[in-house]
A = this chain, B = another copy of it.
Amino acid sequence: MNDDAKSKKHTGADKPATVNILFSPDGVGVEVPRGTSILAAARKAGVFINSLCGGDGVCGKCRVNVRLGRVRGRTSEFLTRDEIREGFVLACEANAESDLVVEIPETSRIIGEVREADPTAARFSADEHLPRSAEELRPLFRKHYIELTPPTLEDNTADLERLEFELGKVSGDTEFQMGLKVIRRLPETLRKANWKVTASTAYRGALTEITDVAPGNTARKNLGIAVDLGTTTVVAQLIDLVAGQTIGAAAKYSAQIPYGGDVVRRILYVAREPDGLAQFQELTANDVCMLVQELQDRYRLGIGDISAVVAAGNTTMMHLLLGLDPNEIRREPYVGVAYGPPPFRAAELGIKIDPRGLLYCMPCISSFVGADIVAGVLATGIHKRDKLSILIDIGTNGEIVIGNREWMMCASASAGPAFEGSESSCGMRATAGALDHIRLADCETLLSFSTVGDSDPTGICGSGYVDLLAELLRLGIIDRTGRINTDMDCSRVRVRKDNVPEFVVFGADETGHGKDIFLAQEDILNLLRAKAAIYAATLIMIKQLSLSFDEIDEIMVAGAFGNYLDIENAVLIGLLPDVAATKIRFVGNTSIAGARLACLSRQRYAEAHEIARSMTYCELSTDAKFMDEFVSASFFPHTDIERFPSVMAKLGR
């Protein structure tokens, strides 16, 4: 929300304190404090208005028609002149000044519409550098073409046992399970197909389920879906389980965003609303369905072509996907319902793939270290290395894993979504128009910059913020506490009416949406807190383990930073420890990479469970030292700059 919108909120304190809003066609009314946005009022009333961006005013999805009453707020580039004349406003930008009648058009009700293939999606599918050997290609879901010997008087085994025997030979599986309906169809299928059939099998641990037997050879078409169920973004990859390759990817915003940007708010919603859990389960499954549909359409597939879905995500998102009550996750002693649930029929969860296809969940470790982290360890191979590695996954929470083949420890730090581009003045996710790289020649001059998709800039994403903070620090435009230096002779530095300084990166004439792109003082403090939490958590773990960063062989940074993260700048601002740049690697979205590996390999899926079981969880929220370290880390790069010798040199100390 920009300065203008903000300031409007503070006017008119002499008017009535609350207003009534009636939503049509729902016929639901609600009383809210005057100045409340229509979107917030709708949430309070339990009326659904689509809002992909979560109320940031950047998606333009939440248009509503004010039929009666006065609202205040800025006009939006998402509305045409005619629409504005007819009374349309963005619900997130329009604040109620009087009693209102608000009509919600049908188009603002569509939940989580699939977007054009996200530019970030391409990046995820490029992660094929991850270890995977050819002999490991035993996907969770397999198809085997078998030519059975027809029965004779001398060899008159029953159909099922004949099939199982041959399938055992070609698959190496020993104990089978099969649904009654499939067995009932078996004699006709086998005979009509002249005993040449394709058997589909699904891994169920000690048992293998024969999910279908189809005539002829259909074994060449065997597709799976890997899903990263992020709090903010849901990403799906279509995987060729025969070739062991990723075919394509799609991404969308989580349909849960209107209900809260972080998981705790969503858990509270579920606890409060009578059908909250069922509603969230459906939202989550629909997100997956829409991405599956998008990939099916793009690659011209039928619904039956996709046989398995493997999902990774944080513990709450996994609970919501399965319709498990997440309420105990947020309450001491922080306990989930199931961390390593068995596979389920995807159809039972409303996920539309092959009706007999399965949904596999990557296992979670604890309430706040989820399946995304287990998938990350699996993908990066930390658990197989002799030497010590660290995985830092930066999302709404920052999760850290330290360990090697012998032991692993993990922790979670509440970083906030600043590096995800959320809740900052001009923050955005790493999609088209996001500033993801920047160099300043001096206080006035941009040396270089890039945006995702090479579009005109419309905001700043995580890697852009890392660069920006480092450049401002290097040039002395911000000091080590993060304060913007207003004494400097710099036309990019301006001071708001409320005396808060901002650094303007692009003027309105240079941007894709005709608005300034800037970094406000409070944004810097949010980013400072986020980096401090992540660094402090990492340091606490290192200390608890009586290690030093020098003993770590590799630090891998994962997260939705876009295609790019300048490691040197991440060290400079103190997000990452000051070790040799060659020891730090940006590894992208390891959550989906791990889900994909598991989808392609039963062994890897089993390994993921081993990872989850063997991981030690380190609870930071109850560790008094964490707060000390957090405060010490709330400097660029750190209170104790001696810990960052390379930075000390660069900053000329």
Contacts and interface: CB of A to CB of B under 8 A. Distances in A.
A340 interface: yes
A183 B341 contact: yes
B158 A342 contact: no
A323 interface: yes
A558 interface: no
A160 B325 CA distance: 13
Nearest to A152: B333
A288 B334 CA distance: 47
A177 interface: yes
Interface in A290-342: 322-325, 327-328, 332-342
Nearest to A180: B344
B335 A158 contact: yes
A241 to B, nearest CB: 23
A335 B180 contact: no
A153 B338 contact: no
A187 interface: yes
Contact of A367 (B156, B322, B323, B327): B156
A335 B206 contact: no
Contact of A338 (B160, B323, B335): B160
Contact of A207 (B158, B161, B207, B622): B207
A219 to B, nearest CB: 23
Contacts of A617: 156
Contact of A160 (B176, B206, B339): B339
A204 interface: yes
Given A180-B344, A338-B183, A333 B188 contact: no
A367 B205 CA distance: 32
What's the number of copies of this chain in the assembled complex?
2
On chain A, which size bracket covers the interface? 35 or more
A151 interface: yes
Contacts of A619: 153, 156
A631 interface: no
A617 B187 CA distance: 22
A158 B206 contact: no
A177 B342 contact: yes
A323 B184 contact: yes
Q: Chain A interface secondary structure, helix, strand, loop or mixed?
A: loop
A77 to B, nearest CB: 45
Contact of A187 (B180, B325, B348): B325
Contacts of A158: 335-339, 364
A198 interface: no
A609 to B, nearest CB: 11
A328 B336 CA distance: 51
A156 B188 contact: no
A357 to B, nearest CB: 15
B206 A175 contact: yes
Contact of A334 (B156, B323, B622): B156
A178 interface: yes
Contacts of A341: 160, 178, 183
A147 interface: no
A628 to B, nearest CB: 20
A186 interface: yes
Interface string A604-640: 0000000000000101001000000000000000000
Contacts of A113: none
A151 B340 CA distance: 17
B338 A186 contact: yes
Contact of A205 (B188, B207, B332, B336): B207
Contacts of A456: none
Contacts of A159: 328, 335-338
A204 B324 CA distance: 25
A180 B322 CA distance: 8
Nearest to A612: B161
A335 B151 contact: yes
Most chain B beta-carbon neighbours within 10 Å: one of A158, A175, A186, A617: A158
B334 A153 contact: yes
A587 to B, nearest CB: 28
The residue in A336, A348, A367 that gathers the most chain B C-beta atoms within 10 A of its C-beta is A336
A366 interface: yes
Contacts of A7: none
A352 to B, nearest CB: 17
Nearest to A343: B177
A160 B344 contact: no
A615 to B, nearest CB: 12
A157 interface: yes
Q: Give the one of A175, A183, A188 with max B CB within 10 A.
A: A183
Nearest to A210: B342
Contacts of A157: 335, 339
A180 B325 CA distance: 12
A334 B159 CA distance: 11
A523 to B, nearest CB: 34
Contacts of A160: 337-341
B205 A175 contact: yes
A188 B180 CA distance: 32
A332 B186 contact: no
10 contacts: A158-B335, A160-B340, A161-B339, A175-B206, A184-B337, A186-B337, A187-B327, A187-B337, A205-B207, A206-B207
* Complex A-B, nearest 10 residue pairs according to Cβ-Cβ distance, in ascending order: A206-B206, A160-B338, A158-B336, A158-B339, A151-B335, A153-B333, A156-B333, A151-B333, A175-B206, A159-B337
Interface of A: 151-153, 155-161, 175-178, 180, 183-184, 186-188, 204-207, 322-325, 327-328, 332-342, 344, 348-349, 364, 366-367, 617, 619, 622
Given A152-B333, A186-B338, A207-B207, 7 more contacts: A151-B335, A157-B339, A158-B339, A161-B338, A161-B339, A161-B340, A177-B204
